[in-house]
Structure 1
Amino acid sequence: MKKKFWLKSSVLTGLVSSALLTSVVSADQVPIQFLGINDFHGALNTTGSANMPEGRISGAGSAAVLSTYLKNAESDFLSTNSNGHSLRVQSGDMVGASPANSGLLQDEPTIRVLNAMDFDYGTLGNHEFDEGLDEFNRIITGQAPTAGKFYSIVDTYPREASTQKIVIANVVDKATGAIPYGFKPYEVESINVNGQSVKVGFIGILTTEVPSLVLKQHHEGYNFLDEAETIAYYAKQLRQQGVNAIVVLSHVSAISPGGVVGGQAADILSKVASIDPENSVDLMFTGHSHTYANGLYGHTRVVQSLSQGRAYSDVRGILDTATQDFVEAPSATIVATAPGVEKDTNVQAIVNEADSIVATVTEAKIGTAVSADTITREVNEFKESPLGNLITKAQLEIARKEGYNADFAITNNGGIRSDLLVKDDFSITWGAAQAVQPFGNILQVVELSGQQIYDTLNQQYDESEKYFLQMSGLKYVYTDFANSATENTNSDQAYKVYKAYKEDGTEIDPNANYTVVINDFLYGGGDSFSALTGGRFLGAISPDTEVFVSYIKSLEEAGKPVAASINGVKTYKSAEQIAAEQRTEEEVIIPFESRRIDDANLPLGSEEVVTKGVNGKALIVKDANGNEISRTVLLEPITEVIHVGTKAVTKPGQNTPPGSTTELPTSSSAPKNKKKILPATGESVGAIWSLLGASGLGMAAYLKKRQIK
């Protein structure tokens, strides 16, 4: 929107108050409404929780309910704006990853439903590429498929061509440089009011992440141009044609915590503003992230309304014929499609017909659960889900049955599209299983090194954990990315894998090779798991949908119920916990002390000092680097000093200066300096008593001699 404001003389007389100016629309201005949805994914009768800022609304959704809400919103708008104009738009992923009543019929029922709801403009999402743009083009043009290519029910389905106009500006054929299948980069809606007209331009944009989201054979023929550069380029073309009111239908992510727009949409709009500060992008519908978004980024209103028809965007503004632009930035409300309204009978008839056609396939019982509880795909705080564990267990066991000595099975969480619904009688149907994994991705068996496995697991934690995995046969411990401020140079990666283990507890060896089951989407580097592209291809088994169905059937045939739970596949430990686990304990010897006593303190008759004793013990705790943390004495060392040999003494009657000594004679038969270790403990006491006895006899003889004299 260009910042131009016009005061029309035909609108009001000078007698109208300034307060009234803000609420009255002039004769050459026209109110406009845009009703938008995103990421419908063929959800003809799917309901679920709508997570809104005001809280969670349960049971929201289904096509017939959505249609009623859109009709009511349009009626409300036109009832207060008799000359208003209402349009319906979508921002991608209308088809693909669909429940059975749409998916089994190649999403042709969804095209009929969107026609019944009168959608005017739309763009492409990544799921429009799921089976290739050629197949999507067949669907929207209402052409019949090659007979026998799909289920027979597709051949006879009463298809019809789409009535909405598809705009896509940043997808071009690599060979020709042209936008494929005659799609236009933009379309212009001309709105008449009082004999004049005002024009609105619609530009279509798709996320450039498509090569990470779609099978290689379905995207390799196209280039995906920079989103911001493409918007700026075509917005300028529109302005040159006098079209200043510009709406971007974009399949890019957006969030708006606290009303502040973030995500990919904010990045794109920021770049558009840097390329063209005078850009006139007034409104941006977003998608892909399945989130709530409603806020202003600069002068651009940005909205996103959850997914699967659980909410819609109601955007309203005023267009001016003189400026060919919005008077001011449009306002918006995101409305949840809560249950309780009357369903649109025309739309419901299309859904009922699809249900009836696919029932012969979908309602067949294939298994029995342990209870009537839904087996959920909701993840815990470590991003592990019961259903993810069940799916990968199925893939691992089926691969082993087919002769592969598989160690692990890994799948992308984004490929799990629905909870596994269980009926009241505990039965599981084919349709319920198909809804869980509707893509039919081929399962590949590949050889990966332990290092490639570590790299793959770590890639879950880049891009702020945008993509993550479910797995069986493999468990791991992860921790904080950095133990020091300097180590973490990747600001959006908070964690890293510490150690990974096989299901028997054996630690993964980075230098060893392992056999892994993954789908072809991941093998092509899907969801940015580039580490998986380096695996050595060993073989392929059936598509993931068929494998899941086959596994449930095999349990039923064996009389076993279907059960799933959290298995502790992913465990977080802090750096402190890991450091504590890396500590080692070691018992060491504390030797007794060997020492010599000073000559002055030697007992009479001693020359040598001999020590003996008992070594002590201590328990030493060391950190991962071998540094001692603590020491606990378990046994104190005991030292005993034993004296032998001779000591120099003063001869009787000799006036010897203090400190002078003479040697007492020793037996010539005894070698000098011979070391003798006397008996220890109790035995040494006897020796002392013998010495005292000898001294006593000598004294008695001396006294008797004096008496004789």
Structure 2
Amino acid sequence: MSATPHAQRRGSRRNRIVAVAAGLATVGALAAAIPASAGEAKPGKTKPSRYQDVQLLSFNDLHGNLEPPAGSSGRVTELHEDGTTTTINAGGVEYLATHLRDARGDNPYSITAAAGDMVGASPLLSGLFHDEPTIEALNNLDLDVTSVGNHEFDEGAKELARLQKGGCHPTDGCYVKGKKFKGADFPYLAANVIENKTKKPLLKPYWVWKKNGVKIGFIGVTLEDTPGVVSAEGVKGLTFKDEVKTINKYAKELERQGVKSVVALIHEGGAPASTSYNYDCDSPGAGDGISGPIVDIAKNVTSKVDALVTGHTHAAYACTIKDPSGKPRMVTSAASFGRLYTDTTLTYDRRTGDIARTAVKSANHVVTRDVAKAADMTDLINRWNTLAAPIGNRPIGYISADIPNTGTESPMGDLIADAQLAAGKKLDPETDLALMNPGGVRAPLTYAAKGSEGDGVVTYAEGFTVQPFSNTVNLQSFTGAQLVQILKEQVSGSNAASPKILLPSTGFTYTLDLTKTGADRIVVDSIKLNGAALDPSATYRVATNSFLAGGGDGITTLGQGTNDLVGGDDLAALEEYLLANSSAANPIAPPAANRITIVS
């Protein structure tokens, strides 16, 4: 495979959207050409066939990963017929561009769409520049449309509007002298995100793709619980509506406009029964091949919607879930970080204006790294890396082995918790423990050298990739009884189905019994601090990041502490801890991840 030069591809976004394709329409999977009568066709003209195959290429949760992701974040698992699996290195926009361009070819009936979290929680190459590099890359990828995700709100609605419309950053300014950021060539859709002042959607609720009489509408929504996974400042002045009700509302509106073929871009997802990207969740014997929030959403979204492109859970699946009429409907997700893309065939019926649902086919494909790099993406990465290098290449510590970000209790999360405990003790020597949210740990630290650094060296860029949110380390006081409640809220209420297990600092231990349900999964008698049982009436000083200190991740009791004290940046706390506790001669070892005893 080879990359297609950007200048030779499909032309400018706006011109391409309205262009009328030349040549004969591709005959669809159900194609049965309709004979043209003498009164219908002009001499020398061929009437399009009734059925037209439309290619939908999609991906989700890129999170600004322009370079190939490190460690497990840059791998996918392939399942073979004999039940064995293979691990494949995947991802990187230089390769994603090549794969998408080769898949697209010169097909005029091809759409590229995404399901949110294109930016936010990004590595330093993008995050340092408020994700302008990622928007530029997505423009080069010829992305047609995307829904917003929760991470599009990390820096608030005004910053999201700037990414859409362009303009230099309000405080950092323009990163290249004389060059103004132009914004996204594609629309962000936010049908269920309502501005409280105007009572209207923050951004466009839907977008319609048109080509030679073919019309397909796209409705974009993010998860209703976005305020529970984003800082309060990021969603200030906004209300997030129910996904199903919103999609159903705009599907009716599109139908009134004559658009009967509809795809929903939903930043909410599920969990397939297998982590292999090519697992067939519709195969005989698979049973319920997928679970999670997307299942109920898919079962209740109106039958007017023909396919659901989803995200948020970073899982890979291409499954059918029955719509309210009992008819199977395709639901897809392409994992995360640009490791996969989904290729879906939508067979459009020109007579009815709808998708022939029985002809819809979909599969996930690996963004392998054995293809030619897209030259324009290489240039983009090199250009931004030149700006980032003075900051990103600075060593901030040394490790003796990979520090993984996997498992219920991840070693990487434990290391961050230890760093925040140390930062807390500098603010207040009476600090007892620290708790870190799992979603705030975005990547592992890898031992193997990258670029010009030596093995075991941790650079600022790597640290930024692990902790990109610019949270502060905050202190609060809680009673022992409140700490018990905090642990219970990890696994109950809104977290019952998908627990948010907090990562504890050294010395704080307890047992998690997964054979039980809800709050009973926390074995209260097992909770100890430095070997001593927790005293319900005693007061404990706890360090968390500012997201958790506001009651984030549905752990509301964390927002009810007293004697608040705001510290410095969480990444600075990690850097300070690594510098104080590691050297080239004495690198820090991965934590044992034995603070939570798991019964299963």
Q: Place the TM-score, normalised by the shorter chain, in its bin.
A: 0.7 to 0.9
Distance 1:305 1:443 in 2: 34
**Partner of residue 228, structure 1:** 244
**Counterpart AA for 2:402:** T
Offset at 1:461? 2.2
Distance 1:454 1:154 in 2: 51
Distance 1:45 1:494 in 2: 43
Secondary structure of the 1:566 match is coil
Q: Deviations over 1:153-177 (max 9, x none)?
A: 5787763321001222111011220
Offset at 1:496? 2.1
Q: Deviations over 1:479-527 (max 9, x none)?
A: 5478xxxxx7xx6667223335454211111111100001111122211
Q: Please show how residues 124-143 of structure 1 align to structure 2 within 5 Å.
A: 124-143=148-167
**Counterpart AA for 1:448:** F
Offset at 1:137? 1.5
Q: Say yes or no: does 1:66 pair with 2:96.
A: yes
Give the TM-score, by structure 2 length: 0.83
Offset at 1:562? 2.2
Offset at 1:152? 8.5
Q: Say yes or no: does 1:345 pair with 2:375.
A: yes
Distance 1:101 1:213 in 2: 24
Q: Say yes or no: does 1:448 pair with 2:478.
A: yes
Q: 2:348 aligns with which of 311, 319, 329?
A: 319
Q: Say yes or no: does 1:513 pair with 2:539.
A: yes
**Partner of residue 44, structure 1:** 66
Q: Please show how residues 392-411 of structure 1 align to structure 2 within 5 Å.
A: 392-411=417-436
**Counterpart AA for 1:135:** E
Secondary structure of the 2:497 match is helix
Secondary structure of the 1:160 match is coil
Q: Please show how residues 172-187 of structure 1 align to structure 2 within 5 Å.
A: 172-180=194-202, 183-187=203-207
Distance 1:338 1:251 in 2: 25
Secondary structure of the 1:464 match is coil
**Partner of residue 478, structure 1:** 511
Structure 1 regions of 5+ residues with no counterpart?
Answer: 13-24, 79-83, 274-278, 483-487, 575-709
Cα contact 2:168–2:174 (8 A) shared by 1:
no
Q: Please show how residues 54-453 of structure 1 align to structure 2 within 5 Å.
A: 54=80, 55-75=85-105, 78=107, 85-146=109-170, 149-150=171-172, 153=175, 159-180=181-202, 183-192=203-212, 197-257=213-273, 258-259=281-282, 260-273=289-302, 279-298=303-322, 299-329=328-358, 330-369=360-399, 371=400, 373-379=401-407, 383-422=408-447, 423=449, 424-453=454-483
Cα contact 1:170–1:230 (8 A) shared by 2:
yes
Cα contact 1:39–1:94 (8 A) shared by 2:
yes
Q: 1:458 aligns with which of 475, 488, 494?
A: 488
**Counterpart AA for 1:104:** L
Cα contact 1:61–1:337 (8 A) shared by 2:
yes
Offset at 1:573? 5.3
Distance 1:156 1:474, change over 3 A: farther
Q: 2:576 aligns with which of 550, 569, 574?
A: 550
Distance 1:295 1:465, change over 3 A: closer
Distance 1:110 1:571 in 2: 40
Offset at 1:235? 0.6
Distance 1:414 1:408 in 2: 19
**Counterpart AA for 1:190:** K
Distance 1:547 1:35, change over 3 A: same
Distance 1:11 1:413 in 2: 61
Distance 1:567 1:434 in 2: 22
**Counterpart AA for 2:475:** V
Offset at 1:220? 3.2
Distance 1:559 1:53 in 2: 42
Q: Which moved more, 1:205-214 or 1:469-478?
A: 469-478
Cα contact 2:65–2:123 (8 A) shared by 1:
yes
Secondary structure of the 2:567 match is strand
Q: 1:561 aligns with which of 581, 587, 595?
A: 587
Secondary structure of the 1:445 match is strand
Cα contact 1:170–1:226 (8 A) shared by 2:
yes
Distance 2:551 2:177 in 1: 34
Structure whose CA Rg is larger: 1
Cα contact 1:201–1:245 (8 A) shared by 2:
yes
Distance 1:288 1:508, change over 3 A: same
Cα contact 2:174–2:181 (8 A) shared by 1:
no
**Partner of residue 29, structure 1:** 51
Cα contact 1:10–1:26 (8 A) shared by 2:
no
Distance 1:111 1:135 in 2: 13
Offset at 1:544? 0.9
Offset at 1:398? 1.9
Cα contact 1:293–1:305 (8 A) shared by 2:
yes
Distance 2:161 2:304 in 1: 31
Distance 1:56 1:510, change over 3 A: farther
Secondary structure of the 1:538 match is strand
Distance 1:479 1:416 in 2: 21
Secondary structure of the 1:219 match is coil
Offset at 1:316? 0.7
**Partner of residue 12, structure 2:** none
Distance 1:390 1:236 in 2: 50
Distance 1:37 1:494, change over 3 A: farther
Percent sequence identity is 31
Q: Please provide the CA RMSD for this pair.
A: 2.5
Cα contact 2:54–2:109 (8 A) shared by 1:
yes
Cα contact 1:11–1:27 (8 A) shared by 2:
no
Aligned residues: 527
Q: Deviations over 1:677-696 (max 9, x none)?
A: xxxxxxxxxxxxxxxxxxxx
Cα contact 1:203–1:231 (8 A) shared by 2:
yes
Offset at 1:89? 0.5
Secondary structure of the 1:542 match is strand
Give the TM-score, by structure 1 length: 0.70
**Counterpart AA for 2:293:** Q
Secondary structure of the 2:330 match is strand
Distance 1:179 1:31 in 2: 32
Q: Which has the higher contact order (CA 8 A, sep 6+)?
A: 2
Distance 1:87 1:458 in 2: 45
Distance 1:504 1:401 in 2: 19
Distance 1:333 1:558, change over 3 A: closer
Secondary structure of the 1:218 match is coil
Distance 1:11 1:497 in 2: 74
Structure 2 regions of 5+ residues with no counterpart?
Answer: 1-29, 38-46, 274-280, 283-288, 323-327
Distance 2:584 2:431 in 1: 22
**Counterpart AA for 1:284:** L
Secondary structure of the 1:281 match is coil
**Counterpart AA for 2:354:** D
Q: Deviations over 1:200-231 (max 9, x none)?
A: 11101110111110111221311111111111
Distance 1:400 1:6 in 2: 70
